[in-house]
Amino acid sequence: MTAAPSVVVLDYGSGNLRSAERALARVGASVTVTADAGAARECDGLVVPGVGAFAACMAGVRSVGADRVVTARVSAGRPVLGICVGMQVLYDVGDEHGVVTAGIGVLPGRVTRLGAAVLPHMGWNTVSPPAQSVLFRGVEGERFYFVHSYAVRPGPGSGSDSGSGSGETIAAHGSPFVAAIERGVLAATQFHPEKSGDAGLALLANWVGSLS
């Protein structure tokens, strides 16, 4: 029997840790919730959650050395999944409430306020994944649950019909934004898969399956 992939949900003081833990366990991962840098370095897959403000999340990330862990994992070709603000902190910079904060910087881009009349963007929304998406295999047309006011703008050539290889999945709330990204060993979702019902579980199962 093949051992279940080992997944660490990083505890740096932010995020729906137990919801993510339960969802990942349901789809077959052996899950640990911890701030331990050694465990985060050595697991098959590292999940970086996050809720709240970018600057506060980055302070928590740095307090447990998770910025160095994520950078080292990406350099070593070891998978990382970011969720919500855990996705945002993977980028270069967050600009929230006039506060500009450096992110981990393993993805190029800037997190800024959504261009929408109503914020936060809260509730269910459809997404447009690229044709070769691993995360969205089998759930390309499903809806996912969002709660956020900030996001990354899509890069040139993004979208489901793009051949650019950007790996960006696009959604819109007022203006388009990056709803998910798949780039090498990095994957991330602006929405909460652990709160997105069967579609979210299927997406997490796709990610856990890619760790084998």
Residues assigned a catalytic role: 84, 192, 194
Residues 89, 82 contacting (CB under 8 angstroms)? yes
Edge-to-edge order in the sheet of strand 175-183: 30-34, 6-10, 45-48, 80-83, 186-189, 175-183, 168-173
Helix (H, G, I), strand (E, B) or coil at 137: coil
What count of residues does the chain have?
212
Cβ-based neighbour number of residue 170 at 10 Å: 20
Instruction: Tell me whether residue 2 is exposed, middle or buried, using C-beta atoms within 10 angstroms of its C-beta: 0 to 12, 13 to 18, 19 or more.
Output: exposed
| Closest among 159, 151, 156 to 91, alpha carbons compared | 151
Cβ-based neighbour number of residue 186 at 10 Å: 19
Angle at 49 between CA 119 and CA 170, to 5 degrees: 50
